[in-house]
Structures are given as C-alpha cells and as structure tokens.
Amino acid sequence: MSCIFCNILKSNDKSKWIYETDKCCCFPDIDPKAPVHLLVIPKLHIESLSDVSSENADFISDIFSSIPKIVSKVGLKSYRLVSNNGEDAGQSVMHVHFHILGGRSLGWPPG
C-alpha cells in the first residue's frame, strides 16, 4: 500500500525537514493552516493512534519528547498539537501524524 508519508521517509530529500531522530521527523505541512504548521510523524507506518500498542509506543513517545525541542527551534511559545484519527475526525493521511500549529491566535473549539 502506498503511503505519502512513507514515501517522504524513503526519499532522500530531507531539505525541508526541520528536525529528525532515529524514530521521528518533522517537516512543514504542504497546506498550512497557520503561520507555523508542522507535521511530526513516526518513522514507522502506524495507521492511526488506535493502532498504537506496547510494540510501537516508543515511536510515539519519541515524538512527544521531540516536540519541546521542535517548538523551541521554531520559536513557538504557544501552539496547538492536533492528531486527527479516522475519517470523521479529518484524517486524510493514514499514517499517524501530529500537527503543530502556531504563530496566530487559535480558536476553540475546532470545527
């Protein structure tokens, strides 16, 4: 099965990546919804958060320990972390990812 994010991981083009560990990477969203809109993805194909288990949780844990470093690197003090899971929640890429949104005032609740 073809996965856009797996293809990004397989490509040798890291020119837009702003952060990387052995388990995750971060790059700008192609369709930004805020002045800063980054995606953090695991370097393992996990379809959604519902598929996280003790077998792969270290990839998600690595994302959470990376986020403070990522937001510090891009100078965000306030930001929103979003993960859409399932089609009704707006997930369009079936590879777990976290949106980091910031750089403007963000409304609540989201639509």
Catalytic residue IDs: 97
Which residue in 15, 31, 53, 109 binds ligand DGP (CB under 6 A)?
A: 31
State the nearest-atom distance from the C-beta of 32 to ligand DGP, in Å: 8
Are 31 and 41 contacting, i.e. CB atoms less than 8 angstroms apart? no
State the nearest-atom distance from the C-beta of 11 to ligand DGP, in Å: 10
For residues 78 and 91, give the distance between their C-alpha atoms in angstroms, rounded to a whole number: 23
For residues 70 and 68, give the distance between their C-alpha atoms in angstroms, rounded to a whole number: 6
For residues 6, 15, 99, 56, the Cα torsion angle rounded to the nearest 10 degrees is: 40
| C-beta of 11 vs 53, nearer to ligand DGP | 11
Q: Count of CB atoms within 10 A of residue 26's CB? A: 25
Is residue 84 at the binding interface for ligand DGP, with CB under 6 A as the rule? yes
State the nearest-atom distance from the C-beta of 99 to ligand DGP, in Å: 6
List residues near ligand DGP by CB under 6 A: 4, 27-31, 39, 84, 90-93
